[in-house]
A and B are shown apart, each in its own frame.
Chain A
Amino acid sequence: MPVTLGNQFKSAALGAAAAIALSAGAATAEVEIEYWQYFFEARVNAMDQLILNFEAANPDIKVNMTTFPYADYRTKVAAAIPAGEGPDVVQLFYGWLNDYVAAKLIQPLPSDPFSPSMIEEEFFPMVAAMREGDNYWALPTAVRSLALFYNERLFDEAGIEGPPETLDEMVEIAKKLTMTDDAGNITQVGITAGMTAQDHHWFREVLVRQFGGDPYLDDYQTVNYNSEAGVMAAEFYTGLANVHKVTAFGFMDEPQAAFKAGRAGMHIDGSFRIGALNKTRGLKWGVAELPANSEGMKSNYSSYWVNAITTKAEGEKYDAAVKFMQYVTSDEAMQIWLDVVGELPAKPSVGLTEANSNDAVFGPFIRGLAYANTTKFANESAQRQILIDMVQRIDLEGQSAADSIAVAAEAEQTLLDEYYN
């Protein structure tokens, strides 16, 4: 018995050695680079397609994609790169950039071919958040923005012609769509509301601006919504539930659930919701740009995932990584990403084509990009929590909008100060 066991070990060891030798042989024939992203099926499919196209055009480069569950992604990246393992090109959320730069996980893109003047000419303006000095740290393939989803069936039943164009119209339409039962409870909301979903972006970058304010100063390092505009925006937002009674916070647990169930007339959400809504049977929905204020001023919020070259990539792998970055930020890649994932192109040259900008579904989102702002978050979930609490102090504890906004602004400023200093 010990003899055969020994033989098995020996042959296993030989096999492993052979495998290593073989793969080493293959690696000398071409450059292999690692690409990492978190697992989201449509994104993985789209990236598979991009890698195939890239490898066909660059036969001497091989790209291996590895994906991880979202929850593990950050820890894996953080552990792998300093150890010299892991990705050469990595995907990260734009809000994580500062942390990745500070931890020396990524290196700036070379100004040739990624010169800031070229990028600023070709990309939508919110990409500028990725610039530092004469270099860009990272670039997106696709971006996301907000729009107003509306339930066409409920609109028809209430005899409403089309989606609202201004905030005042939105409130009037919402009133017609709201239904209550005999006990006075709302059973169908005119518009969903909840800072837990996308409304905190709507509040920060859209409502505060539309009421004449500027939510942040100093490149998002100073909170500035503790102003008349911020108070008016907070009063408008909480007024939807408390004055106009066209919504209820926490209705059907989550805003998107209410809209999917056909219990909400209107719903503000991101372009990433399109896929889920397409799969919802029996729901007839349309999309419109976010309502403007009474002067016609529009705003939007945009976020994105970017790709960056890690500090691990050196020599020929670095050159290959640059080529790969060039491809994933090309017009062709962006069109594929739009078709497969449904996320919006990061360049006007792809986004604002006749077909894309007039698309019934993507059009309102893409048009929104032209006037979108991107919040530079220090800690998105903590900053979101501050606005959740701001609304709850008004809604549950009866605090005045002015006091609640002041408390929120102070809390957020403390958080930003801790992060930047």
Chain B
Amino acid sequence: MYRSLSVRHKHIVWAWAFLAIPVAFYVVIRFYPTANAMLISFQDWNLLGDRTWTGWKNYEKLWSDPVFWKVFRNTFVYLLIGTPVSLVVAFAIAYHLDKLRFMHGFLRMLYFLPFMTSAVAMAWVWRWFYQPVPIGLINNFLSTLGIPQVEFLRSTTLALPSILAPAVWAGLGFQVIIFMAGLRAIPGSYYEAARIDGVSAWTILWEITIPLLKPTIVFIVVFSSIGFLRIFDHVFNMTTGDPGGPLNSTKPLVLMIYQTAFTDYSMGYAAAQTVVLFLILLIVSLVQLRILRDR
């Protein structure tokens, strides 16, 4: 049978033979659990007893759950503040770092270091920074100046930005490196031509650099959006004890899913939330790809 195949067909057979392993792997650890999660979202299951069919009940509960809408809003606040801020800051750093020769490697390393650090360790260090006196670094400093302390993590308004700051900082290194690679890829002749024409630096930035960086920007926006929509480690570790911050002020969707599943043991309700998160990620990614695609 195999012998009678043409060379081209033999190649195809071998390609599939090798692909079979990753395909089987993905089916078992990705597609099967995904399908199962969608199934569980229509069921009631507390991990102990039997699964019972409940239809749309979990989704109806989600729709009328005020905590879900608060969490939904928080998730988008993380996305809508986190992504633009990190994009602008990362570009500014990359743009200037690219022009810098003195200690270039060292500075780049400093920016990249937080990206390599464990998010858990970093979250606990920042948690300590934010504590009230007598232990918090920032508040101890304010206190020596006679300024009353700021309740960073125990405030319904400041807690979310306080958690977002280290999360942005942690992702910055990666984005700076990607931006720098994008900047290096722009041919120098464009800049030379622009300078000969006597164009201002601002125009060069707007008319040459940013348009040519578009593929890089698309990649970073999609990548960091997915990251902020899935934010968990920083929030969970900075607010353990009262996970999700005072009155759910910092709780993102992933943390709500985790709590519903593993502290309330409502697997069906958690699965319904997961399906919603999946749809959000899908829609946001598709919309971004469409908007930012080359026309």
Interface residues of chain A, those whose CB is within 8 Å of chain B, are: 71, 74-75, 78, 99-100, 102-105, 181-188, 194, 196, 248-254, 263, 379, 381-382, 385, 388-389, 392-393, 396-397
Contacts and interface: CB of A to CB of B under 8 A. Distances in A.
A74 B265 contact: yes
Contacts of B156: 392, 396-397
Nearest to B157: A396
Interface in B225-265: 241-242, 246-247, 259, 262-265
B47 A75 contact: yes
B146 interface: yes
B132 interface: yes
25 contacts: A74-B48, A74-B265, A102-B49, A103-B50, A104-B49, A105-B48, A181-B133, A181-B143, A182-B143, A183-B142, A183-B145, A183-B147, A185-B134, A185-B143, A185-B149, A248-B132, A250-B154, A252-B131, A252-B134, A253-B131, A253-B135, A379-B263, A381-B263, A382-B264, A397-B247
B285 interface: no
Contact of B48 (A102, A188, A389): A102
B216 interface: no
* Among B135, B146, B153: residue with most chain A CB under 10 A: B135
Given A74-B47, A78-B47, A253 B127 contact: yes
Given A185-B134, A396-B156, 5 more contacts: A78-B48, A187-B134, A250-B151, A382-B263, A382-B264
B135 A99 contact: no
A99 B48 contact: yes
Contacts of B55: none
Contacts of B134: 181, 185, 187-188, 252, 263
Contact of B146 (A99, A183, A196): A183
Contacts of B49: 99, 102-104
B206 to A, nearest CB: 44
A183 B148 CA distance: 5
A2 B139 CA distance: 70
B135 A252 contact: yes
A105 B135 CA distance: 47
A312 to B, nearest CB: 14
B133 to A, nearest CB: 4
Interface of B: 46-50, 127, 131-135, 139, 142-143, 145-149, 151, 153-156, 241-242, 246-247, 259, 262-265
A396 B158 CA distance: 12
A183 B265 CA distance: 45
Contacts of A194: 241
A37 B19 CA distance: 44
A251 B132 CA distance: 7
Contact of A396 (B48, B145, B155): B155
A41 B84 CA distance: 48
Contacts of A248: 132
Contact of A183 (B46, B143, B263): B143
A253 B237 CA distance: 12
Contacts of A74: 47-48, 265
The 8 closest A-B CB pairs, nearest first, are A103-B48, A103-B49, A196-B241, A185-B133, A78-B48, A187-B134, A250-B154, A381-B263
A83 B153 CA distance: 45
Contacts of A389: 247
Contact of B132 (A250, A392, A396): A250
Given A248-B132, A392-B246, A185 B48 contact: no
A290 B242 CA distance: 25
A252 B134 CA distance: 7
B242 A396 contact: no
A263 B132 CA distance: 13
A181 B154 CA distance: 20
B242 A185 contact: no
Contact of B149 (A105, A183, A249): A183
Contacts of A181: 133-134, 143
Nearest to B50: A103
Given A103-B49, A196-B242, A185 B263 contact: no
Contact of A254 (B139, B145, B241, B246): B241
A78 B147 CA distance: 54
B247 A100 contact: no
A278 B146 CA distance: 37
A234 to B, nearest CB: 16
Contacts of B50: 103
* Among A194, A253, A263, A393: residue with most chain B CB under 10 A: A253
A388 B142 CA distance: 28
A336 B237 CA distance: 37
Given A102-B48, A103-B48, A253-B127, A184 B148 contact: yes
Contacts of B241: 194, 196, 253-254
Nearest to B46: A99
A382 B243 CA distance: 11
Contacts of A251: 132
Contacts of A263: 134
Given A250-B154, A381-B264, A388-B242, A185 B139 contact: yes
A393 B247 CA distance: 8
Given A102-B48, A382-B263, A392 B247 contact: yes
A250 B149 CA distance: 13
A255 to B, nearest CB: 10
A284 B126 CA distance: 31
Nearest to B153: A250
A394 to B, nearest CB: 11
A99 B48 CA distance: 7
Nearest to B262: A71
A74 B49 CA distance: 12
B44 to A, nearest CB: 11
A138 to B, nearest CB: 15
A253 to B, nearest CB: 6
B132 A185 contact: yes
A194 B246 CA distance: 12
Contacts of A388: 242
Nearest to A197: B241
Nearest to A105: B48
Nearest to A195: B242
Contacts of A381: 259, 263-264
